[in-house]
Amino acid sequence: MSNQIRKIAVLTSGGDAPGMNACARAVARTALARGLEVIGFLGGYSGLLEDKMVKLGHNDVSNIVNRGGTFLYSDRCLDFKTPEGMAKAVACCKKYEIDGIVCIGGDGTLRGATDLSNHGIPTIGLTGSIDNDITASDYTIGFDTAMNTVCEMIDRLRDTCESHARCNVVEVMGRDCGEIALRTGIACGAVAVAIPEVPFDEAAAIAKIKALKAEGKRNFIVTVSEGLGKYGEDLAKKIQAETEVETKFARLAHVVRGGNPTLRDRLTASEMGAKAVELMLEGKTNLVVVERNSELVACDINYSHIVDRMYKGKLKDGDLDPYSAEEIASMKELCAYRKAEIERLYALVDDLA
Ligand code: ADP
């Protein structure tokens, strides 16, 4: 089977994440080691539409395993979603006679990869996102680094909060997913955590700050997910008004996207990249490589997309039609597991604060 494949492509798309470089490098190096030709497209799906191709040899991916960002650049390409854009992207893949393409990115990127595969381009999706919001996977590349960065920032804020007897409400990225806010909240000793997945008991959080202040506590950290819109800013004002603890609001924003990837992200990225190439060599495509129970496994790209929609409450009429009752049951089970995991962690916050 392997001798049927000659050339593969790789791109990174959507929001960048630390570890994307390590991942693209692993794709390139594994493919080169197996005697394949490798090309990259620059700037995500725009690179396909605008024909921005680079050949990738061994040295082209040197010195990046440890670096944040993505040397292939990234983009949000709206034209790719149109029939004309898709036709251009398919034509570009055909022009370079690639036998498959590895698309590294978040849920939007995987959605795009699903469309590409459904248009006849053999595709493998890899989960690169700081948000950890791909339902089919326990883990997305960049999540660990982003959380470590948040922890470092919050630890710094805590120092100054302690000196000045302040509260800091810290908003972190994650789109509609509260995982970063939740896990860093626990790891940084937040007094409260507000995320989209679980109703937030604002009155209880404020009462807790008042009670702890009365006992002599000086510093308070609250983490809020960006998925709650401007709520973090409002909450900071309310906390200050009701507790008389001076309260600052900090939006960590894009600082959390950058920086050198942690060992966890470098390793997972490397393993995922290598796995993508091995799958292609076995003639297996239209898959997403996901982590389940500490193991990397291949998941059908359409299935991954639909279970993601199910979890996010975005299912459309007919989405489940291609699937058997057994498959639908397994999707529901996975969604329930994800929800339960978030609720389990959330339940820790109050007791630990
Ligand atoms: P991420 O991959 O980090 O979730 P985006 O949601 O911006 O980031 O998606 C990245 C790119 O994937 C988009 O710019 C677009 O080119 C493509 N994409 C996103 N959503 C879709 C969709 N529904 N259909 C086809 N392509 C999509």
Residues of the chain predicted below pLDDT 50: 1-2
Tell me, what's the pLDDT at 228? 97
Each residue of 239-279: pLDDT tens digit? 999 999 999 999 999 999 999 999 999 999 999 999 999 99
Q: Which residues are catalytic?
A: 131
Under 8 Å CB-to-CB from 174, ≥6 apart: which residues? 130, 131, 132, 133, 180, 181, 195, 225, 226, 227
Site residues for ligand 1, CB cut-off 6 Å: 13-15, 44-45, 76-77, 80-81, 105-109, 111-112, 115, 129
What would the pLDDT profile of 329-347 be if each residue is shown by its tens digit? 999 999 999 999 999 999 9
Q: What is the pLDDT of residues 225-240, one digit of tens each?
A: 999 999 999 999 999 9
DSSP result, 157-226 = HHHHHHHHTEEEEEEE--TT--HHHHHHHHHTT-SEEE-TTS---HHHHHHHHHHHHHTT---EEEEEEG
**Residue whose CA is closest, atom 19 of ligand 1?**
108
State the pLDDT at residue 1. Answer: 44
This prediction's pTM = 0.97
Task: Tell how far the Cα of 208 is from the centroid of ligand 1, in angstroms.
Answer: 41
CA 87 to chain centre: 27
For ligand 1, atom 23, name the residue with the nearest CA. 111
- How far does the centroid of ligand 1 lie from the alpha carbon of residue 271, in Å? 24
What is the Å distance from ligand 1's center to 12 Cα? 11
Strand duo 166-172 + 123-127: pairing: unpaired
Give, using CA atoms, the residue closest to atom 7 of ligand 1: 14
Task: Give the per-residue pLDDT at 4.
Answer: 85
> For ligand 1, atom 8, which residue shows the shortest CA distance?
14
pLDDT of amino acid 329: 98
How much is the pLDDT for 229?
96
